[in-house]
A and B are shown apart, each in its own frame.
Chain A
Amino acid sequence: MPESTHYGILAEFKSPETLVEAAKRARARGYRELDAFTPFPVHELDDVLRLRDRRVLWFGLIGGAVGFAIALAMQMFTNFDYPINVGGRPLYPFSAFAVVAFELTVLFGALFPAVGMLAINGLPRLNYPVFAASRFHLASKDRFFLCIKAHDPRFDPSQTRRFMQTLGAESVELVPA
């Protein structure tokens, strides 16, 4: 059976606690390609599913640095290119440049992680296999879904399905790719 015909198997749970418990047991069974779909962030999942990604925070830092550099360069250059003597005050006063430097630090520091977060998440996109699942619309309401993906080495459509039924799921559904 070629794996490409399936995306994975979705199991539906009534609470974050049961979802986390099921995810732990799936990990213990040796499944590694897991994902979960929840109506709000469930922090326990980060540990259970071994999620670790700090790139968004790096984007923020880089964005802030870029904004700060642009602001300082812009303000210094304009005063260098067309110097105006205002009562003998310094041409390059950092106290006067601080406001615009701060604003652009914040502007780019907010833009980079927002755009970067969407980009790493692969969004925006119009469709995704899980949307085809019959009960998936509840993932934005009050149901919590665990997914074992088809490219997991231990994935087997019938066995994995049977295993997920033992986890106390409300429903289990095979999702086509």
Chain B
Amino acid sequence: MSLTAEESEHILPPGQSLGDVTDQLARIPLHFPTRRRWLIALALSSLLLLLFFVAVTVLFTRGVGVWGLDIPVNWAFAIHNYVWWLGIGHAGTLISALLLLMGRDWRNSLNRFAETMTLFAVVCAGVYPILHLGRPWFVYWMFPYPATMQVWPQFRSPLEWDIWAVLTYLTVSVIFWYVGLVPDLAAARDRARRPGWQTFFGVLSLGWRGSAIHWMRWQQAYRLIAALAVPLVVSVHSEVSLLFAASQIPGWHSTIFPPYFVLGAAFSGFAVVSMIAIAIRSLFHLQNLVTDDHLDILGKVLLATGLMTAYGYVFEVFDAFYSGGVHEVQTVSDRFFGVYAWSYWGAVVFNFIFLQALWWRGVRRTPWALFLIASSVAIGMWLERYMILVTSLYRDFLVSSWGSYTPTFWDWAIYLGTLGLFMVPFLLVIRVFPVISIFETKEVLHDERKEASRA
């Protein structure tokens, strides 16, 4: 991951003026360039969203029996996709917050859409436990309120920690995204000519005027929230892993789980960030701001997090044999050779085999190649979450309680529907808000120019 001095100083091509960048980025919402392609994407996503609403209606009227889950596999698609979506969300925060604190300039071309991705990935994750409740209108039972039954939620259970972690994560992500967006909304407000846009951006920019003292306080707040967001990501996905690790089920009851889950989350998230970066840069012709160098770095990060996730795979197996527990070893052998072996080997192939192409610089800098590898990682991580859920549950301690799981049509309908639940708001946000941070890009441009003139 070490960059040469040359690369780290010039992530953006020199010779772009601050004014041009402002106009180019603020123009995107104000004079939307690729109306047709955007509308086609929105129409397809809306179909998926419609599917989601239909499937949820069916689920709520007929109950969770329309899903394929049953004893012993009573956690399947709902929790599996919850973990997958939440993991994807984490890369947005890591890019935005961690790299901000580390002073990595290349993050400034990616942070806005990466954070936007986080918001809606967390929403997709968050709906799953609610759908899984069976009686979703009782979701408020999770909160401590003075109930007439005089009971309280049980704070000694990871299932109760979950809602606090996810709601905190969603709220902090929204705050971080919006605080970072305000100066750009002001820039869009000042470029807007039509009264509708002027009012829209005028109200949302909160009267931001770029005063020096405001910038100073803004930066203190922004960096402070970033510093809180980084450990928050680690805590949220560690907590998710405790939903599994704190139980007795073979294949789950392991101390490797928190780091294994956090790294896998970052891995899948960076894959989706790469896909979105490639799509957005070609959709809006932003090759001058999301450069081949950015793709190169994303490729390296993807490779690095992938190898760390692979280390988790190795140690999961090692753990089982080291423990010598009959049921632990049995679970490993079920994963390798059982009826769900396709999910294990599928995860290995999609996550780690195609990934190896990223060792080559030429592959990292070829948008379609990186896009394909990133898609393969998204699929691979999806298979991994499936594998962790199903291969552990379908055969635990007693042979009498062995069973199987097959997702039904409604399982798939809700999962495909959440893709629409993600894409529709994401497309709307990139339609109306600056998709790349304007002022942070200008900051990088200015700093690089100063470096260049000094050299």
Contacts and interface: CB of A to CB of B under 8 A. Distances in A.
Interface of A: 16, 35-42, 45-46, 49, 51, 53-57, 60, 64, 74-75, 78-79, 81-82, 84, 86, 89, 93, 96-97, 99-100, 102-104, 106-107, 109-111, 113-114, 116-118, 120-121, 123-128, 130-131, 137-142
The 4 closest A-B pairs by CB, nearest first: A124-B206, A78-B152, A142-B18, A117-B221
Interface string B207-240: 1111111111111110011001101100110010
B263 interface: no
Contacts of B190: 137-141
Given A99-B239, A118-B206, A106 B228 contact: yes
A91 B172 CA distance: 30
A39 B186 CA distance: 10
B144 interface: yes
B19 to A, nearest CB: 4
B165 interface: yes
Contact of B224 (A56, A93, A140): A56
Nearest to A37: B210
A114 B235 contact: no
B22 interface: yes
B161 A46 contact: no
Nearest to A140: B187
A37 to B, nearest CB: 5
A141 B19 contact: yes
Contact of A126 (B207, B218, B232): B207
Interface residues of B, number: 62
A35 B207 contact: no
B150 interface: yes
A139 B155 contact: no
A79 B155 contact: yes
A124 B207 CA distance: 6
A99 B161 contact: yes
A91 to B, nearest CB: 8
Contact of A100 (B164, B171, B186, B191): B164
Among B23, B156, B190, B443, which residue has the most Cβ atoms of chain A within 10 A? B156
Among A64, A107, A109, A138, which residue has the most Cβ atoms of chain B within 10 A? A107
B151 interface: yes
Contact of B22 (A78, A81, A140): A140
Say what secondary structure dominates the interface of chain B: helix
Nearest to A44: B212
8 contacts: A41-B219, A45-B212, A46-B216, A107-B171, A113-B224, A121-B217, A140-B183, A142-B17
A144 to B, nearest CB: 9
Given A114-B225, A124-B206, A38 B183 contact: no
Contacts of A93: 156
A41 B151 contact: no
B179 A114 contact: yes
A53 B176 contact: no
A172 B156 CA distance: 65
Given A56-B217, A125-B207, A99 B212 contact: no
B407 interface: no
B151 A82 contact: yes
B153 interface: yes
A123 B203 CA distance: 11
A106 B172 contact: yes
Contacts of B53: none
B439 interface: yes
Given A82-B152, A97-B155, A117-B218, A39 B212 contact: no
A51 to B, nearest CB: 5
A41 B189 CA distance: 19
A89 B172 CA distance: 33
A73 to B, nearest CB: 11
Nearest to A45: B212
Nearest to A95: B156
Nearest to B215: A41
A86 B155 CA distance: 12
A89 B187 CA distance: 57
Contacts of A139: 190, 209-210
Nearest to A120: B217
A41 B443 contact: yes
Given A106-B232, A114-B179, A121-B214, A57 B224 contact: yes
Interface in B115-153: 144, 150-153
